[in-house]
């Protein structure tokens, strides 16, 4: 494959956009390469400026569960466009999308729409603090909750270690109330509650970690958090931006049968357009302005075009329930990858859930962020570059999750499996 035009555009982009990209991982730095510039997408395929075609496994980082340019979604969006792009007023579509989320997710009784997962995370922190009268928030090493100052925290050296800002420009005072624990370590969280009794407002967690690679919860971890929060008067927050309507129609909380107090959504609920949401128990959500005193607002919140894309996407998912088939295809692809790795005696760990999957070049199971950091990133870089040359587009980082859509065919999977074998052969 040739990437001449992509290289030209990237060189130009670096002169006018910091790093040449509008989100860091897109720069391909983790794989020591340069990004591919995409012109269009359809179904399971991406097409770049050089005329190359790729089978896509990032799906715009998760939202495109129905594939790119799904005809029913496009039709409804095009119809909505005829009525205008933004009103700054309440619309019927907002009510319908909120209702669809509440109907699908048993732990959600009320919803507030926003514009991104990051915005939802900020609002949930404020809501949790305002509702409980407490200041501290527990998060887990390697879990990402958006580009939010108090949550941009490096890994600490112990369960009770206070966070250190992970970016210049974030004052240490912004993170002094953020506590960290290793993912899948319930005892570490218990220690935090004992160290800071009556001070913790919320525990925020990705029920399936997706931003340090895909790492599922170990048995009893989520229920343990639920029980702990009940004992200590802490709000349990599930960040389901990635897992919501992806691993199951009712999200990870439905899959694992653990109900949080508050949930954060994004990605799939926007059908590929910018939408975020947070919701949960009525008694908590009623504290949000104008029903209550805790302020949160957004000019473009509930944008009618984004809401339309989300409504149509959720309706299709509700009616067609593709999750079993997505799970079958994802597991089959992972099996092919693992089998090929065993043949070549390359240590590899794989994981899949619904239409979400991931892998680590590691000899041991990966249960948390520190485990993930031990994986062989050199192997991943070699593998990624060869797979890309074979026409398969993966996330350009060893610490990201991958996604299937309903548009991925068995032929796509066969071609991908062959690309995986060649990628492993290059190591």
Tell me: the pLDDT tens digits for 116-147? 999 999 999 999 999 999 999 999 999 989 88
Which residues partner with 263 through β-bridges?
A: 238, 279
Angle, to 10 degrees, between the axis of helix 323-343 and the axis of helix 410-425?
30
393 is catalytic: no
Q: How far apart are CA 321 and CA 231, in angstroms?
A: 36
**Catalytic-role residue among 136, 267, 311, 329:** 267
The answer to whether 35 touches 6, Cβ cutoff 8 Å, is yes
Predicted confidence at residue 101, as pLDDT, reads 98
Tell me: the pLDDT tens digits for 258-288? 999 999 999 999 999 999 999 999 999 999 9
Q: How far apart are CA 360 and CA 289, in angstroms?
A: 44
**Catalytic-role residue among 48, 131, 139, 144:** 144
The answer to whether 394 touches 388, Cβ cutoff 8 Å, is yes
Look at residues 188, 193, 181 and name the one whose alpha carbon lies nearest to residue 143: 181
The answer to whether 198 touches 384, Cβ cutoff 8 Å, is no
47-77: b or e for each residue (b if 16 or more CB lie within 10 Å)?
Answer: bbbbebebbbbbbebbbbbbbbebeebeebb
Q: How many CB atoms lie within 10 A of CB 259?
A: 18
**Catalytic-role residue among 76, 239, 371, 412:** 239
Predicted confidence at residue 161, as pLDDT, reads 34
The answer to whether 141 touches 156, Cβ cutoff 8 Å, is yes
Domain-by-domain residue ranges, the chain? 4-65+322-425, 71-320
239 is catalytic: yes
Q: How many CB atoms lie within 10 A of CB 87?
A: 11
Per-residue HEC secondary structure of the chain comes to CCCHHHHHHHHHHHHHCHHHCCCHHHHCHHHCCCCCCEEEEEECEEEECCCCEEEECCCCCCCCCCCECCHHHHHHHHHHHCCCCCCCCCCHHHHHHHHHHHHHCCCCCEEEEECCHHHHHHHHHHHHHHHHCCCEEEEECCCCCCCCHHHCECCCCCCCCECCECCCCCCHHHHCCEEEECCCCHHHHHHHHHHCCCCEEEEEECCCECCCCCECCCCCHHHHHHHHHHHHCCEEEEECCCCECCCECCHHHHHHCCCCCEEEECHHHHCCCCCEEEEECHHHHCCECCCCCECCCCCCCCCHHHHHHHHHHHHHHHHHCCHHHHHHHHHHHHHHHHHHHHHCCCCCEEEEECCEEEEECCCCCCCCHHHHHCCCHHHHHHHHHHHHHCCEECCCCCCCCEECCCCCCHHHHHHHHHHHHHHHHCC
CATH 3.40.50.720 for domain 4-65+322-425, yes or no, is no
Look at residues 405, 313, 320 and name the one whose alpha carbon lies nearest to residue 77: 313
267 is catalytic: yes
Predicted confidence at residue 166, as pLDDT, reads 63
Residue 133 backbone zone (phi > 0: left; psi -120 to 50: alpha; other: beta) = left
Q: What is the pLDDT along the chain (427 residues), one digit of tens a residue?
A: 999 999 999 999 999 999 999 998 999 999 999 999 999 999 999 999 999 999 999 999 999 999 999 999 999 999 999 999 999 999 999 999 999 999 999 989 999 999 999 999 999 999 999 999 999 999 999 998 988 877 876 532 232 234 445 677 777 777 788 999 999 999 999 999 999 999 999 999 999 999 999 999 999 999 999 999 999 999 999 999 999 999 999 999 999 999 999 999 999 999 999 999 999 999 999 999 999 999 999 999 999 999 999 999 999 999 999 999 999 999 999 999 999 999 999 999 999 999 999 999 999 999 999 999 999 999 999 999 999 999 999 999 999 999 999 999 999 999 999 999 999 999 9
Q: Which CATH number fits domain 71-320: 3.40.220.10, 3.30.420.40, 3.30.70.640, 3.40.640.10?
A: 3.40.640.10
Predicted confidence at residue 126, as pLDDT, reads 97
């Amino acid at each position: 494959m040739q990437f001449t035009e992509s290289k030209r555009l990237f060189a130009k982009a670096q002169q006018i956009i910091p790093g040449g990209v509008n989100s860091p991982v897109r720069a391909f730095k983790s794989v020591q390469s340069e990004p591919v510039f995409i012109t269009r997408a359809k179904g399971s395929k991406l097409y770049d400026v050089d005329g190359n075609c790729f089978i896509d496994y990032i799906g715009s980082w998760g939202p495109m569960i129905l594939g790119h340019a799904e005809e029913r979604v496009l039709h409804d969006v095009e119809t909505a466009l005829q009525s205008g792009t933004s009103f700054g007023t309440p619309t019927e579509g907002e009510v319908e999308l909120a209702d669809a989320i509440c109907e699908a997710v048993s732990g959600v009784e009320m919803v507030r729409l926003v514009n991104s997962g990051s915005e939802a995370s900020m609002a949930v922190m404020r809501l949790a603090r305002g509702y409980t009268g407490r200041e501290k928030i527990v998060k887990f090493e390697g879990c990402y909750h958006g580009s939010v100052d108090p949550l941009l925290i490096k890994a600490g050296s112990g369960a009770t270690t206070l966070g250190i800002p992970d970016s210049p420009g974030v004052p240490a005072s912004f993170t002094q109330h953020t506590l960290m624990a290793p993912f899948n370590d319930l005892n570490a969280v218990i220690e935090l509650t004992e160290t800071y009794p009556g001070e913790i407002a919320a525990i925020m967690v990705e029920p399936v970690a997706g931003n340090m690679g895909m790492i599922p919860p170990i048995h009893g971890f989520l229920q343990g958090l639920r029980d702990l929060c009940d004992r200590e008067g802490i709000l349990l927050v599930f960040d389901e931006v990635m897992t919501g309507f992806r691993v199951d129609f009712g999200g990870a909380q439905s899959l694992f049968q653990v109900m949080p107090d508050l949930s954060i959504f994004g990605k799939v609920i926007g059908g590929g357009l910018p939408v975020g949401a947070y919701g949960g128990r009525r008694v908590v959500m009623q504290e949000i302005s104008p029903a209550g005193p805790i302020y949160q607002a957004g000019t473009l919140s509930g944008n009618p075009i984004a809401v339309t894309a989300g409504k149509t996407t959720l309706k299709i998912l509700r009616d067609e329930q593709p999750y079993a088939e997505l799970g079958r295809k994802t597991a089959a692809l992972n099996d092919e990858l693992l089998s090929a790795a065993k043949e070549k005696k390359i240590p590899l760990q794989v994981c899949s859930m619904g239409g979400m999957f991931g892998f680590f070049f590691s000899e041991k199971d990966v249960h948390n962020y520190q485990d993930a950091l031990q994986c062989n990133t050199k192997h991943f870089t070699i593998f990624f570059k060869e797979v890309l040359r074979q026409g398969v587009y993966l996330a350009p980082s060893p610490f990201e999750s991958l996604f299937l859509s309903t548009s991925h065919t068995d032929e796509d999977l066969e071609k991908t499996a062959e690309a995986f074998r060649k990628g492993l052969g290059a190591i």
